[in-house]
Structure 1
Amino acid sequence: MQNSLPRYRGSPWPWLVYLIFVPFPWLWAPPDPDTVLAAAVATAIFLPVYLISFRLSDATLPFAAAAMVLIGLAVSPFPLGWTTFSIYAAAAVARLHSRWHAGIGIVVIALIVLATGLLLRQPLGWWGPSLLFVVMTGVVTMSTAAFYQRTQALLASQEEVRRLAGTAERERITRDLHDVIGRTLTLVALKADLAGRLVSRDPDIARAELAAIAEAARSGLAEVRAALAGQLGGTLAHETSASLAALETAGIAPIVTGDPTAVPADAGAVLAMTLREAVTNVIRHAGAQRCTIGFAAGPDDARLVVEDDGVGLSFREGNGLRGMRQRLVAAGGRLELQALQPGTRLEASVPA
């Protein structure tokens, strides 16, 4: 994860102000022409190496830092601030992703400055403070880079959360619309068939069925809007009543065991959507004569059982069953299907 994040780079331009420390010793010892030339050549070589270092990868950045150190070593015999180039080198290696490699690089640069100052027997005031600045600059840059990388990791995590939330929301809308549209269209189709059969025999009842179709369509439209707004879901008792009416319209005898009002509200909201899809499947696929709906609420979980005496578990798990399973699993529950002789038994449970 860490190496996949962009490395902290910052802007190279503000830090060039510290090049004023290269001619700093000249304040008390005027330079000779050779010293001025050495300083000019070293700075001219350093600038492109420094600027390019902000574009290099972790694999090549240490070479740029090494080049900066070598530039400083090349002019170390001259009376100028040669350690300034080592400070820039420490800042460069501190931008490595690996904190371990960055720390080693800073230590190596500090040791090189120490060894060079001692070997050349230069006054401690020439290189001692710079040795401290090598360590301080490296540590501060490491801290800044670490903060930047943590920020980038947090932003990446937030983006992933947003992406997963968007995916979950699309899946929820798909499940809810499948349940709503499946139930509504099934009910409309059943009542339309019934009205068609009754229109010549009993116009009054046929008109009542047509009115029921219009009401079902309006109710379905309201539920679609609620699903899109994330507000879909009635009480388990209300969904039980609607399921019983749908079964009776389909000519399937409903039997209810248990009390849906005894199921806690949170668990009931999940089981209500499960009941809606389960009854829709019975009406559309089972070819059943009877359907039993059972409720049970214990101290740990609430259960819904839907049994029919139809053709049995002969259909594949499609979007409806998959949506039921996903909704129950998201709530910490489970879904079990069992083939009966004849018919199918569906049991759903969620924590109470």
Structure 2
Amino acid sequence: MQTEISYRRLRGNGWPWLAYLIFVPFPWLWAKPDATTVLAAAVAIGVFLPLYLFSTRVPDRALIPIAAAMLALGVAVAPLPLGWTTFCIYAGVTVARLRSRRHAGIAIGVIAVATAGTGLAWQQPILWFAPGVLFVVMSGVATMSSFAFYERTQALLASQEEVRRLAGTAERERITRDLHDVVGRTLTLVALKADLAGRLVERDPDTAKAELEAIATAARSGLAEVRAALTGQLGGSLATEASASLAALQTAGIEPVVTGDPAGVPADAGAILAMTLREAVTNVIRHAGARRCTIDFEAGPGNARLVVEDDGVGLSFREGNGLRGMRQRLAAAGGRLELLSLQPGTRLEASVPA
């Protein structure tokens, strides 16, 4: 709708071009007109002005009849000592505003031929009407080009707006994924340590105090990660995340088994797999009911791979925000995610180009 309004405004900016009507009485500079000629010129201009002003506000289907009327005015006054081709030039410019470039080009050609035919029919000197024919073509093509440029500019602006919209959507999705992973891990760890501290507070106050301090540390760390997620700076090394995941599994009473070296995974792939590992371990702790969790790191030529396998209830990774976030994050990096149901347990395989 906004593009249509702007297009009409472009077509409506026609007032400055009325200055070219000065060429209608131009022959009077060397030939004094009689009363009939002056009256004919006044009537022609009086009829032309409403047509021209109306042409700037009508839909495409009305432009051709208006241009035909302008051409008819020029043909009607052609026998008189007037710059009659001026009306033909305006007719050419009017049809050039058609959005169909093919139809506009054909109409300009027809007007140019009609102008030349009128001059020849009245046996006027070539120099008398040839410039008018030339300007019908030149002005029409120039108008077509200006409108085509305007449409390309509008299309480019629309594309840029769409890119901005998609970028905003992608950023919101990224923040949602990162916050889900950060908050899920942090709250899970805080809940586990709080339960442990509650059980130890009477029989082992010192250990309970240590767990409470760990809760405070986890909360502060989680807050820092939330801030990093909001600014787009979240994503530590895979080795750091592996250590945190082992600690979380141990706190949950799940035996961690690690194979491979996370430090051997390239940093770009490691940052993606670190967030995948965070969410996978969180899901194992919260949903699997597992006693053992195996984490395997592989860094092959051009590809990095993470495998997280538990011996829990199976199908522990339900299709939710966490799993969708993992898929989207890996897909954005050109990787993939696979889930396999074991007997018992679940196996998650994530790979990403390194």
Output the TM-score relative to the length of structure 2: 0.95
| 1:247 aligned residue | 249
Question: Is 1:193 aligned to 2:195, yes or no?
Answer: yes
Q: Partners of 2:331 and 2:5 in 1: how far apart?
A: 34
Deviations 1:77-117 (A, max 9, x none): 22211111111121122222222222111111101101111
Q: Is the 8 A contact 1:195 1:209 kept in 2?
A: yes
Deviations 1:250-304 (A, max 9, x none): 1111111111111111011000111111111111111111111111111121111
Deviations 1:225-268 (A, max 9, x none): 00000000000000101111111111111111111111111011
| 1:50 aligned residue | 52
Question: Is 1:127 aligned to 2:129, yes or no?
Answer: yes
| 1:340 aligned residue | 342
Unaligned runs of 5+ in 2: none
Note the C-alpha offset of 1:44: 1.4
Note the C-alpha offset of 1:66: 1.9
Distance 1:252 1:4, change over 3 A: farther
Secondary structure at 1:60 match in 2 = helix
Q: Partners of 1:348 and 1:314 in 2: how far apart?
A: 16
Letter in 2 for 1:77: P
Q: Partners of 2:174 and 2:66 in 1: how far apart?
A: 53
| 1:143 aligned residue | 145
Q: Partners of 2:63 and 2:215 in 1: how far apart?
A: 73
| 2:225 aligned residue | 223
Secondary structure at 2:220 match in 1 = helix
Q: Is the 8 A contact 1:267 1:302 kept in 2?
A: yes
| 1:21 aligned residue | 23
Q: 2:105 aligns with which of 103, 106, 117?
A: 103
Note the C-alpha offset of 1:6: 5.5
Alignment of 1:83-98 (within 5 A): 83-98=85-100
Larger displacement relative to structure 2 (277-286 or 41-50): 41-50
| 1:331 aligned residue | 333
| 2:296 aligned residue | 294
Q: CA RMSD in A?
A: 1.5
Letter in 2 for 1:220: G
Q: 1:260 aligns with which of 256, 259, 262?
A: 262
- What fraction of aligned residue pairs are identical, expressed as a percent? 77
Secondary structure at 1:232 match in 2 = coil
| 2:164 aligned residue | 162
| 1:318 aligned residue | 320
Letter in 2 for 1:189: A
Q: Is the 8 A contact 1:5 1:149 kept in 2?
A: no
Q: Is the 8 A contact 1:311 1:343 kept in 2?
A: yes
Output the TM-score relative to the length of structure 1: 0.96
Larger displacement relative to structure 2 (326-335 or 83-92): 83-92
Larger displacement relative to structure 2 (203-212 or 27-36): 27-36
Unaligned runs of 5+ in 1: none
Q: Partners of 1:163 and 1:85 in 2: how far apart?
A: 47
Note the C-alpha offset of 1:5: 9.7
Letter in 2 for 1:284: R
| 2:287 aligned residue | 285
Secondary structure at 2:257 match in 1 = strand
| 1:349 aligned residue | 351
Note the C-alpha offset of 1:30: 1.3
Q: 1:211 aligns with which of 213, 226, 230?
A: 213
Q: 2:77 aligns with which of 67, 71, 75?
A: 75
Q: Is the 8 A contact 1:6 1:149 kept in 2?
A: no
Distance 1:306 1:315, change over 3 A: closer
Q: Is the 8 A contact 1:175 1:320 kept in 2?
A: yes
| 1:34 aligned residue | 36
Q: Partners of 2:166 and 2:126 in 1: how far apart?
A: 59
Note the C-alpha offset of 1:37: 1.4
Note the C-alpha offset of 1:4: 7.5
Q: Partners of 2:73 and 2:166 in 1: how far apart?
A: 51
Larger displacement relative to structure 2 (119-128 or 82-91): 119-128
Q: Higher relative CO (CA 8 A, sep ≥ 6), structure 1 or 2?
A: 1
Note the C-alpha offset of 1:70: 1.9
Larger displacement relative to structure 2 (4-13 or 43-52): 4-13
| 1:235 aligned residue | 237
Q: 1:115 aligns with which of 101, 117, 130?
A: 117
Deviations 1:34-78 (A, max 9, x none): 211111111112112212222222232222222221222222222
Distance 1:348 1:5, change over 3 A: farther
Secondary structure at 1:16 match in 2 = helix
